[in-house]
Amino acid sequence: MSEGSASAGTTGFDQVLTFTVPDRDARGRVVRLGPVLDDVIAAHAYPAPIRHLLAEALVLAALLGSLLKDEQSQLTMQAQTQDGVVDLLVCDYRAGELRGYARFDRARLDDLGPSPTLRALFGDGYLAITFDLAATDQRYQGIVPLEGETLAAACESYFFQSEQIPTLIRVGIRSDANGCVAGGLLIQHLPEGEEGRERLHVQLDHPEWEHMRIMGGAVSPAELVDPGLDLETVLWRLFHEENEVRVERGTRLVKGCRCSGDYYRSVLARFAAAEREEMRNEDGLILVDCAFCSKVFEIDLD
Picking from 246, 150, 164, 151, the residue whose alpha carbon sits closest to that of residue 206 is: 164
The per-residue pLDDT for 277 is 81
State which residues form the domain around 148: 15-255
Q: At 75, is the secondary structure helix, strand, or coil?
A: strand
Residues 19 and 103 in one domain: yes
CA 110 to each of CA 55, 86, 104, 197, 302: distance values in angstroms, whole numbers, following the listed order: 19, 12, 11, 47, 44
Residues 63 and 212 in one domain: yes
pLDDT digits (tens, 9 = 90+) for 51-91: 999 999 999 999 999 999 888 899 999 999 988 999 999 99
Residue 3 lies in a domain: no
Residues 265 and 208 in one domain: no
Residues 273 and 153 in one domain: no
pLDDT digits (tens, 9 = 90+) for 267-302: 777 888 887 888 887 777 777 776 777 677 777 766
How many angstroms separate the CA atoms of 29 and 159, rounded?
15
What is the pTM for the complete model shown? 0.86
Residue 124 lies in a domain: yes
pLDDT tens, the chain, 302 aa long: 444 444 445 788 999 999 999 999 999 999 999 999 999 998 889 999 999 999 999 999 999 999 998 888 999 999 999 889 999 999 999 999 999 999 999 999 999 988 999 999 999 999 999 999 988 889 999 999 998 899 999 999 999 888 888 999 999 999 887 789 999 999 999 865 444 444 434 555 678 899 999 999 999 999 999 999 999 999 999 999 999 999 999 889 999 877 666 777 777 778 888 878 888 877 777 777 767 776 777 777 66
CA 249 to each of CA 66, 207, 233: distance values in angstroms, whole numbers, following the listed order: 11, 28, 13
Residue 6 lies in a domain: no
Residues 270 and 187 in one domain: no
DSSP 105-165: -HHHHHTT-SS--HHHHHSS-EEEEEEEETTTTEEEEEEEE--SSSHHHHHHHHIIIII--
Residue 63 lies in a domain: yes
CA 8 to each of CA 4, 11, 137, 204, 230: distance values in angstroms, whole numbers, following the listed order: 11, 8, 39, 39, 10
Residues 187 and 233 in one domain: yes
Residue 7 lies in a domain: no
Residues 248 and 274 in one domain: no
**Structural domain count, the chain:** 2
